Structure 1
């Protein structure tokens, strides 16, 4: 059954604490899943604990977290701590992240595909209560779902073979359909979850916020090729040549924002979400734009009844 959740964004032009306000708004408006990632503000497990203590029903999906930054023991301890201290359902998501975050920030080698398979296997075994490399978790969380964020054929193969769910971020519905087709080659194709920016009746500040975020993704492998296929190769070439992000952002057309997000009226957004389901996604995580809608509360309040028929 298809479902719609909410993602805590980390907009650079908003206070970090807004992530908790979004968690509360998502819970109060009846969404069933809250994704909690990690960037340059809060530790994801600490933020998930705080969100769990401030909400009533919403389940917590922590990540995608950079594989290789935390060991399987650290990942299992973090997830177990969130469940034990909040009493909330929680699951885990892992991803490649980027060389800048993994190598420059954390001083770890960037070998995500090599590490992913073993990390998923070991983390799952530890959470199930098994002893791994001499360690056994005292508060096991058996049956915990582990998702893998995948971009590129090698990571997609690893996700198809090891993960309970494949996560795609900032992609078009067409890209989801392509990934769904590729996953059919797997013995048991995992479900697909997709994160997409969402903005209700966006004004200039919201469009500026969305453009600034998308500009970060123009150059990286995979994303750049997708944006080129969507007809925006000139922007990708400029990004890869080192053009300033601010210059790139101001030239991103609304049509590109609409290709990888859902913008407009409530009905427009609901139709856009359905397009992702039709393309093969089982879950859509909405990333609320908050420049003109603090905590995304107006967006979530308006969309909740419209999206209820798709399952939450």
Structure 2
């Protein structure tokens, strides 16, 4: 499950984490855009639900310097030894340059360099030298973790997917349909033992299709107009389906862009329906090659009030301990 949960203050997440664990979810994975940072929600989960596995999806490789990212990862690995996965990625120019005043250049090389730095630093080695995109002078973690966390890379297109396969312990996929998974996985080639394919899946558990599609269109026009995601979906074969949206967006007509998103694209990228129907759709991702399906729970009319009891019921119906309908 993606955390933090929408509409619930972090200080009140203890009950939400308990409901996640009770429903049979094994992991919580953080997101980091303009809400909570990637590490704080996981630190709370580590304290409140010590059986859950924790993962960042993702911590950006530009927004923190190499040493700070290593320290943040080491601290969480120290709190949850053997239960933490560090997911990193390039993020986007908006988050990096517009919001954090950092130059967004050579994202693939920066990500590769950060993987190599983190490998050494999290083993407790002293890192001293120049990488292609940054240089580090004699950095050594004061408290290297007893169990260095696995490193996973967020990847969309072939270059980053191949980098993940070559140098990371797993890959994190995002914004793709179950039918898209085989194409992404094919770029990984032969994988090493224990390499994991993680995918964030947007889930809107409501039978109000109009609500789900309205929300889905807003999300699609917000995300898939970002150049990296637009290129990703062209690569996946959605040029024809999304060209009208991209044209309207480029012309500044947001209303026309929303209207141009076909229902079939929304239904492919946003899982919706009853919780039982959503579970069955998520299962299609695992059948296609995803090892760790990470649900990102979207607001629904049933959950709009932020009622903890309603949330717990919804999680129980979505979770692995629920019975899959025949």
Query: Do the structures match in fold with TM over 0.5?
Result: yes
2:87: which partner in 1? 93
2:134: which partner in 1? none
Give the superposition deviation at 1:51.
Answer: 3.0
Alignment counterpart, residue 172 of structure 2, candidates 159, 167, 170: 167
Q: Secondary structure of the residue that 1:94 maps to in structure 2?
A: strand
Contact 2:155 2:171 in 1 (8 A): yes
Q: Secondary structure of the residue that 1:195 maps to in structure 2?
A: strand
| CA RMSD of superposed structures (Å) | 2.9
Alignment counterpart, residue 62 of structure 2, candidates 68, 77, 80: 68
Q: Which one is further off, 252-261 or 202-211?
A: 202-211
Structure 1 residues 276, 291: closer, same or farther in 2, change over 3 A? same
Structure 1 residues 88, 158: closer, same or farther in 2, change over 3 A? closer
**1:181 to 2:176 alignment:** no
Q: Secondary structure of the residue that 2:127 maps to in structure 1?
A: coil
Q: Give TM-score scaled by structure 1 length.
A: 0.84
1:80: which partner in 2? 74
Structure 1 residues 158, 51: closer, same or farther in 2, change over 3 A? same
1:7: which partner in 2? 2
Give the Cα separation in 1 of the matches to 2:83 and 2:151.
13
2:103: which partner in 1? 109
Q: Counterparts in 2 of 1:273-312, with a 5 A limit?
A: 273-292=282-301, 293=303, 294=306, 296-305=311-320
**1:150 to 2:150 alignment:** no
Gaps of 5+ in 2: 129-137
Query: What number of residue pairs does the alignment pair up?
Result: 301
Give the Cα separation in 2 of the matches to 1:182 and 1:194.
15
Give the superposition deviation at 1:61.
Answer: 0.3
**1:119 to 2:91 alignment:** no
1:272: which partner in 2? 281
**1:140 to 2:144 alignment:** yes
1:211: which partner in 2? 217
Residues 163-220 of structure 1 show CA distances to partners (whole Å, capped at 9, x for unaligned) of 1111111101222110111212677794321111112224354443333222212223
Q: Which one is further off, 293-302 or 95-104?
A: 293-302
Give the superposition deviation at 1:96.
Answer: 1.6
Give the superposition deviation at 1:66.
Answer: 1.6
Give the Cα separation in 1 of the matches to 2:194 and 2:43.
31
Contact 1:208 1:250 in 2 (8 A): no
Q: Secondary structure of the residue that 2:57 maps to in structure 1?
A: strand
Q: Counterparts in 2 of 1:222-301, with a 5 A limit?
A: 222-225=231-234, 226=236, 228-229=238-239, 231-244=241-254, 247-249=256-258, 252-292=261-301, 293=303, 294=306, 296-301=311-316
Q: Give TM-score scaled by structure 2 length.
A: 0.81
Q: Secondary structure of the residue that 1:61 maps to in structure 2?
A: strand
Gaps of 5+ in 1: 1-5
Contact 1:9 1:288 in 2 (8 A): no
The higher radius of gyration belongs to 2
